[in-house]
Structure formats: structure tokens, C-alpha cells
Structure 1
Amino acid sequence: MTNLQNCLDSCSIYVGTYQKYNNGSLYGKWLNLADYSDYDGLIEAMKDLHKNENEPEFMLQDHELCEIFEKLGLIGESYISKDIYEIAEQINDSGYDIEVFESYVDCVGKMDFQSVYDGVMNYYIGEYSDDETFVQELCENDTPYNLPSYICIDWEATARNIMFDYFESNGHYFRS
């Protein structure tokens, strides 16, 4: 299994055509993106599936687990970006799970992939169970010496104050 397949393994699209749909047919097939080495291979499979139509207009009637691609505008009802395989490869090569990229987009909103990639690479801190745990580790790593055990810190209040400079989604933390 290649790195590229890791990101695309769970991404499937149901491919029909507008002509069939307009004629009352939902005929199509689920295609797993990882089964094709590149965009051209995927398009050839789509054409082969609907070879009984002259220049079929593809309709992506459903998709599974392609949330990041949808959020980035790479996949929609009648569109799949030719860049999807290159982007999947960049995600795989980044060393981070696709979930980190999805969380970043949740925090900052829709933008081009290069901005998302740069944001993850520059601002991702890590995964934590809650704000207090994140802030406690952040502060303890930032303190040049061990604090005496008799000092008590209100981590909940400290987290409220510090979180103005950070954002979080699904347990993934990023610097603002």
C-alpha cells in the first residue's frame, strides 16, 4: 500500500450521470479513490462505467469520508478536482493524520489547500483531551524550573485566558 492510498482508502464516490438521473435512473457505481493511481485513471473508470453514453456528464450522487476534500471544494455533485490525488499525497507525506487537516479547516474556514497545509505545518501543536490539559502542559514546558508543590494553579481560569491565542477542533490545538 502506498502513502497515497492511506489518505484515499476510505474515500469513495457514487458516480452516475445527469442523463440517467433525468431519465429516472440512479444507475451508477461506488468507486474507491484509492483504487486509481491518479485523476486520469479515475476519470477513465468513470467513462468506462458509463460508456453507453456519448460524452457522459458525471453526477457524483454521494460520497463517503471525503470531508476534507468537500470542505476544500475539491469534490461536489458534478465536480472532482484534478488536484485531489496530489493533495492526498501531500497530506500523507506531511506526517499528520487527515483529521488534523480537517480540524484546521474547521477552525479557520474554507481556504485553498496550500494555505491549509502551511497552517497545519506552522501552527499545529498537538492533540489534547481538553483546554486545561493543553494549557497545563504548555505552561509547564515553558517554565524554566519546577514549581514548588505548594503552588496551586487554577488551570481552568488560566486556560480561559490563554485560549485567546490558540484555537481547537476535535482535540487538535493550533496557535492563532
Structure 2
Amino acid sequence: MTNVQIYVGTYAKYNSGSIYGAWLKLEDYSDYEELQNAMRNLHKDEEDLEFMFQEYECSEAIESLGLISECHISKNIYEVMGAIENFDYNEEVIEAYICSLGSSENDIQEILEKVSESYFGEYSSDVEFIQELLEETGDLSADLPPYIHIDWERTAYDIMMDYSVHNNHYFRLM
């Protein structure tokens, strides 16, 4: 499971000058309900609980999807973390997709489907990516005479209009 930790305090304590709380690791709880019970138990001295997540540590993907903020933790966070963990590509690829192309999707399955459809791989440069792309698609003949020279920088510039890249992960714009 993706490593997610939250520091759980309450607004009542914060407003009275205390930052009392504790770090909770989501992996220590089987689901959202168990996490909620742990948070309620941590602050059992209060009746009207209003949790405050004063600090949290999570991947860019989790943060970009809006699953955790100062005043909110999504009920779907365990479902999303499970889907990411069981996905064909690692979390770095999903983060790259979300950071590169953004996501207005709330359904993690739709996001993962789009990653699967658009992901081309990890390359060290646009030129390396374009050379391999053209070779794989057959758009570049292996039998080019040695006197033909290709301006790979310009070719990459033109073709990259249809692609997006983040942290060397390449995606086709759909």
C-alpha cells in the first residue's frame, strides 16, 4: 500500500492553543471506518469532533486527487490506494500522468484506464522517445541510406505536440 501518514488533531484543540494529536499510518488500518474509529479514540475527550489534518505525507497522486487536505480525508482513499497498488504500472507512472495531464476524474478506475491507453514508457529524452516511436511504428525505415540525416531535435519538437511528459514518462494526448 502506498505510504500515507496523517497528523490528526482537532480544530477545537487548535483554537484553544494546542496542537495535540498523533501521526497515524493508513496502512495500520484496514479501511476508512477503522481509521475513523482510531481518530475518534485519539480525541475521545471531545464530544463534537472536527478533525484537523495539520500535516500529512503522501504521494503526489494522492494529493493531486484531493484525497487529503487540512480538513478532509476522502472515504474513498483506501479504494484508491488499493487500485493504485494493484495496477499494472507503478505509482510513479500514475503520478506522472496526473501531474502531466491533470485529472478531473474522481473515479480512479477511469484514471487508470486512461493511463493504460496513453502511456508509452520512460525515456531519457524527447529525441530518444521519438526515435523509438518511429522505429516501432514503421514510420522510420531501417534501410535509410547513410547520406540522409534527420534533425531529431526538430522532429521531436513537432511530434511532441501530440504527447506529454513528466519525470521522463511519456503519454499520448487523447
TM-score of the aligned structures, taking structure 1 as reference length: 0.89
| Residue of structure 2 equivalent to 1:160 | 157
Counterpart for residue 43 of structure 1: 36
Alpha-carbon contact 1:28-1:49 (below 8 Å) kept: yes
Matches of 1:107 and 1:138 in 2, distance apart?
A: 19
2:136 to 138, 141, 148: 141
Q: CA deviation at 1:43?
A: 0.9
CA drift of 1:93 comes to: 1.4
Within-5 A mapping of 1:57-96: 57-96=50-89
| 1:152, distance to aligned residue in structure 2 (A) | 2.7
SS in 2 for 1:62: strand
- Deviations 1:17-62, CA, capped at 9 Å, x for gaps: 0010000001111111111111111111111111111132100001
- Taking the aligned partners of 1:154 and 1:147, their CA distance within structure 2 comes to 17
Spell out, residue by residue over 1:43-89, the C-alpha distance to the aligned partner (whole angstroms, 9 max, x if none). Answer: 11111111111132100001112422221111111111111111111
What is the CA–CA distance in structure 2 between the aligned matches of 1:44 and 1:26, rounded to whole Å? 20
The SS at the match of 2:18 is: coil
Contact 1:11 1:32 in 2 (8 A): yes
1:123 counterpart = 2:118: yes
- What's the Cα RMSD here? 1.6
* Contact 1:87 1:113 survives alignment (8 Å): no
8 A contact 1:127–1:171 mirrored in 2: yes
Residue segments in structure 2 that go unaligned for 5+ positions in a row: none
Tell me the distance in 2 between the aligned counterparts of 1:172 and 1:156: 18
1:149 deviates by: 6.0
> What SS is found at the alignment partner of 1:60?
strand
TM-score, normalisation: structure 2: 0.90
- Distance in 1 (CA, whole Å) between partners of 2:169 and 2:56 is 25
> 1:25 and 1:90 mapped to 2: Cα distance?
37
Relative to structure 2, which stretch is displaced further, 103-112 or 53-62? 103-112
- SS where residue 82 of structure 1 aligns? coil
- SS of the counterpart of 2:85? helix
Matched residue type, 1:147: D
